Amino acid sequence: MLVKTSSDGIKDLLSRYGDSLLADTRPGFGGYFIKTEQLVPFCRSLRDEAGYDYLSSVTGVDNFPEDQMEVVYHFYKTIGGPAFVLKVQASRHETVIPSLTPLYPGVEFQECEAWDLLGIRFEGHPDLRRILMWEGFEGFPLRKDWREPFFEDENKPFKSRWPDGHVLRTEEENPYKNNVQYPAAFDPDQWIPAGDAALYEGLLSLTKEGQSDFKTDHIVVNLGPQHPSTHGVFRMVVALEGETVLSLKPVMGYLHRNHEKIGERNTFVQNMPFTDRLDYISSMSNNFGYALAVEKLMDVHPPERAEYIRVIMAELTRFLSHIFSIGFLLNDLGAFFTPALYAIEERELILDIFEAASGSRMMCNYFRFGGVVRDLPDGVLGKIKDLVIDRLPRKLDEFERYLTKNDIVRVRCEGVGVLKIEEAIGLSAAGPVLRASGVPYDVRKADPYSIYDRFDFDVAYGLHGDIYDRYLVRVEEMRQSLRILKQALRDIPGGAVMNGKPQYQVRVPAGEAYGRVEGPKGELGFYVISNGKPNPWRYHVRAPSFINLTSLSTMAKNQKIADVVALLGSIDIVLGEVDR
Amino acid sequence: MNGWGIIRGLGVTLRHFFGTYAEDLRRGKSRYFTKQGVRERSASTVRGIFTVQYPEEKLIIPEEFRYLPFLVYDELESGEKKIRCTSCGICAKVCPPQCIWIERTTDPVTGRPVPAPVAFYIDIDICMNCGFCAEYCPFDAIKMDHDFEIASYDRKAEHIYALEKLLKPAVYYQSIRPENFAREEASRMEKEAKTSSKS
Amino acid sequence: MDEELNNPKYEIPPEIQHQVAITTVDKIYNWSRRNSLWPMMFGLACCAVEMIGAAASRYDFSRFGMEVMRASPRQADVMIVSGTVTKKMIPTIVRLYNQMGEPKYVVAMGVCASSGGPFKEGYSVVPGVDRFIPVDVYIPGCPPTPQALLYGLMALQEKIDQQSIQTVRWYKKGDSSPIPIPVLGPDLMDPRDFDLIKRRAQENLQMEEQVSPTNIEEADSHVG
């Protein structure tokens, strides 16, 4: 799908579809509205003629109390450049929108999520199920008029906290004792859980094609949710023929923590520590993405020193996340614990730096709109230098000596779980998974944010798209991170780290913003809509781990069951981000 | 594919293994159970054994480390406890999971609010240790503690901290965060000097 | 070790001191249990990463006899509930708990496991794993540092020390039925609360008959 495009391809398109397109002219908003029936043809032209081959994010916006639901698409070109934003509107009561899965298979899970949380039905979607909640759950929780059982107030801060704060535990007030909501006249004895029947059916229907005459029974195996090799509470349902995987479906939602619903109730500042808990291995990157999105809306820019500190922290995070993921990939391959333990040693040393700078090892909460919380304390910069110049390169070499040429690692990883280049783009894979398939697409280069355009570094990419290439890409990225870190440490200026006075209630003008960073797992995007009030109206996270999982079933097809575990390790998911 | 890669890799683990003994022999006993030893073992130059033998020895906690919030009081010369909190409510408003409850004092005669809390609760079962309350408090009244040894057997009875449990003296605050304390004292002195020179 | 085990309540004649040790069954029993607490390899969320950290070389909880992380509940003694317990996950957790052999302990690591923590207000989070399974030690913190986890595990060891073989749950006759597994209905349902749910659903129905549909939402939100 890498198509040569003329620079004015998009202009042609816009004039050709002029009748059904409408520019979004609300102040602070951008992009185009398109008529529902023209969505699919337009997107086909967009992909094939204008070269927007990468559909990064799909999400819904509930414009309650107006009877209007909006779906927002962010298209990019894998050769780099800014986004093309497309919006579709539909009624809240009968929200049906054509699915884009035939054009961009990578939207599969994102559309499921929009159906699950917002009740937007995508017509033509192959397997539209609840993906984060379970089948049978009552209501669509992200709709603005849906209230949870512990509902206290539309927005934070809650009135009951001050000045007359009488402490209570909300769950004790709840008559059902279980944080629960039921429809009227509901009889629990008559309830038959929907269970996984639909899931298994969907799974087996995929296996019907291409069967040989030789009749064999297919076995369905559940891996997870409590399974030592899955990285957290994640479940894979696999249909097997012998040991060969015929089809695979990931099942998630076991760690769905209502990030977006809580995020829309929080004030803008309050969301910062919640973003830490998305991808909990790399909290600094999450802070970065969210800070960028809101700074776009507020139009503030951090001072120089803060920019450098941000880059230093983000790159340390990338190193930490990659070394951790490699350690656990080896765990998944059966090299129990030793590589992981070596990796954790380096991780601990980096966490010490985070702890000294931000106060917490994992949940850093270090970035603010317009800077960072505080300057690096005395001695921390020296510690970072010691690590970056001496320790980490040395340990990385040792790690490579230990693993890269190891015959077992190579036999297990080379040629396993191949994701072809066009599949990777179509499936909206991101980060090392995309780059290992041969697409040198890195947001830091393709659409530079912060001060990344000042650093000299290369984008690591592979050619084969197998597990081994993903491993190599991660190793190379760590080296590039160290390169950036050395430059940043050399150039870091003095001065303030915060623009203006720290405020606990920031004023964010109305509008929309999509802030994206190249997180360790891939493109991490935050889509924020403000309506001028202290709380975001819509707050959506484009989670790379979640979207990378879309490609899992493609990769796993016709592999051996034992390799599926390694495959999962090579995608490097973090459940906090998958389920949010 | 002749197994050479595996042997080379095993060499790395072997070096790690012998390294632990070599380092212990070289450095002797001073490596363990001393503050210097812990510092050495958490520096980037560490070789050999990496383990910190909690609880006999503990990692050195950096000044900015945050766990749970506490309220600071100054001890006046008369021995009276002067709570810094004025119950302005900023911490309760900024708290992301809303785990702070404050009851403001009202003057029984005039019915007007008095800048002191009647009651102050923190549900430590909700607190996410983000440190916003300490960061935005304009009176340096609420700070983040370093004490993490607080596991308990009964959360219902013990995990809502009321005013008495939250209060800790300014001396304690100074002992855990000397640099922050010095900075805040300096800026307060400056402010006081300004106001007194104005009047 | 011998000092720990020797029971000073009984007087040992001076001539055989240091040759004979007198102890109680309780002490031996507790000593051996407390020093071989095998946790279940079971990570839920952010806290799991700190739990891995506590198992790794810097904190190394094998120093307390906990080195063997068991993937199977049948072989585990202690379940460290490390992270947010969601409604979708709780049936699995209860099932795992039921499968663990006695004596079994539960440590709620982090505020999410204790009470739902910062995510409690959400729609899909269980407000504390202790709604369903008994918890022995709560470790506050978000996430607790590995040292805080170690402190919590030491607190669990202390708790074990105080137990007596005569009163422990697993040697008592009578009630040893497993915990009923919650059902995923329109929302999470605890089988022990079915009557309550029915009653409330009836009340809702009556309300629906009395008032117009628009008012129901308000009434519901009051309750919630």
Among C residues 121-140, those touching chain A with beta carbons less than 8 Å apart: 121-128, 131
For chain A, domains (ranges, CATH) are 2-123 (3.30.460.80), 195-251 (no CATH), 259-579 (1.10.645.10)
Q: Is A560 helix (H, G, I), strand (E, B) or coil?
A: strand
Q: What is the mean pLDDT of chain B?
A: 87
The whole-number average pLDDT for the span A54-81 is: 88
Q: What was the pLDDT predicted at C31?
A: 86
B117 or A206, higher pLDDT: B117
Answer yes or no: is pLDDT of A550 > 60. Answer: yes
Answer yes or no: is pLDDT of A465 > 80. Answer: yes
Phi, psi of A339 (to 5 degrees): -60, -40
Cβ-in-10-Å burial (0-12, 13-18, 19+) of B63 comes to middle
Q: What was the pLDDT predicted at B85?
A: 87
Q: What was the pLDDT predicted at A210?
A: 52
| Domain boundary assignment for chain B | 1-60, 69-191
Q: Are A344 and C52 in contact (CB under 8 A)?
A: yes
pLDDT-based confidence at residue C215 (cuts at 50, 70, 90): very low
Q: What is the mean pLDDT of chain C?
A: 81
Q: Which of A428-442, B36-50, C177-191 has the highest mean pLDDT?
A: A428-442
The whole-number average pLDDT for the span A210-216 is: 60
- Alpha carbon of A94 to those of A38, A72, C138: distances in Å? 18, 17, 47
| Mutation site for A-interface testing, chosen from B90, B98, B126 by largest number of A Cβ within 10 Å | B98
Indicate the residue of A156, A404, A411 with minimum beta-carbon distance to B98. A156
List, for residues C10-31, the tens digit of each pLDDT value: 677 777 777 766 677 788 888 8
CA angle centred on A87, ends A85 and A93, rounded to 5°: 155
Answer yes or no: is pLDDT of A227 > 80. Answer: no
The whole-number average pLDDT for the span C195-201 is: 78
Q: Which of A188-192, A523-527, C39-43, C179-183 has the highest mean pLDDT?
A: A523-527
Answer yes or no: is pLDDT of B29 > 90. Answer: no
Q: How far apart are the CA of C122 and the nearest CA of chain A, in angstroms?
A: 6
**How far out from the chain centre does Cα A60 lie?**
16
pLDDT-based confidence at residue C224 (cuts at 50, 70, 90): very low
> Are residues B51 and C60, on separate chains, in Cβ contact within 8 Å?
yes
Lowest mean pLDDT among A116-125, C1-10, C164-173, C194-203: C1-10
**How far out from the chain centre does Cα A368 lie?**
21
Q: What was the pLDDT predicted at A184?
A: 66
List, for residues A103-123, the tens digit of each pLDDT value: 898 898 999 999 989 889 998
Cα-Cα-Cα-Cα dihedral sign, residues A539, C188, A147, A503: negative
List, for residues A253-289, the tens digit of each pLDDT value: 888 988 999 999 899 999 999 999 888 888 899 999 9
CA distance A3 to B150: 60
- Residue % of chain A over a pLDDT of 90: 20
- Alpha carbon of B26 to those of B29, B46, B57: distances in Å? 9, 13, 21
Q: Which of left, alpha, beta for A119 (phi over 0: left; psi -120 to 50: alpha)? A: left
Answer yes or no: is pLDDT of A179 > 80. Answer: no
The whole-number average pLDDT for the span A115-142 is: 87
Among A residues 125-164, those touching chain C with beta carbons less than 8 Å apart: 132-134, 136-138, 141, 147-152
pLDDT-based confidence at residue B54 (cuts at 50, 70, 90): confident
Give this prediction's pTM: 0.89
> Are residues A177 and C131, on separate chains, in Cβ contact within 8 Å?
yes
Q: What was the pLDDT predicted at A540?
A: 92
CB of A258 within 8 Å of a chain B CB? The answer is no
Report residue A156 as tokens.
Answer: 């934070």
Q: Is C204 helix (H, G, I), strand (E, B) or coil?
A: helix
In this complex, which chains have at least 3 CB pairs below 8 Å with chain B?
Answer: A, C
If you count residue pairs, one on A and one on B, with CB atoms under 8 Å apart, how many are there? 153
The bridge status of strand B113-123 relative to strand A511-519 is unpaired
- Residue % of chain A over a pLDDT of 70: 94
Reduced 3-state DSSP string for A291-341:
HHHHHHHHCCCCCHHHHHHHHHHHHHHHHHHHHHHHHHHHHHHCCCCHHHH
Q: Are A311 and A481 in contact (CB under 8 A)?
A: no
Among A residues 216-255, those touching chain C with beta carbons less than 8 Å apart: 225-228, 232-233, 253-255
Pick the CATH number of B69-191 from 3.30.70.3270, 3.90.1410.10, 3.40.190.290, 3.10.350.10: 3.30.70.3270
Answer yes or no: is pLDDT of B5 > 70. Answer: yes
Q: Are C80 and C45 in contact (CB under 8 A)?
A: no
The greatest distance separating any two alpha carbons of chain B, rounded to the nearest whole angstrom, comes to 91
Indicate the residue of B54, B149, B152 with minimum beta-carbon distance to C138. B152
List, for residues A356-399, the tens digit of each pLDDT value: 999 888 898 999 888 898 888 888 999 999 899 989 999 999 98
List, for residues A230-257, the tens digit of each pLDDT value: 677 888 888 888 888 888 888 888 889 8
- Residue % of chain C over a pLDDT of 70: 85
List, for residues C138-147, the tens digit of each pLDDT value: 999 888 999 9
pLDDT-based confidence at residue A177 (cuts at 50, 70, 90): low
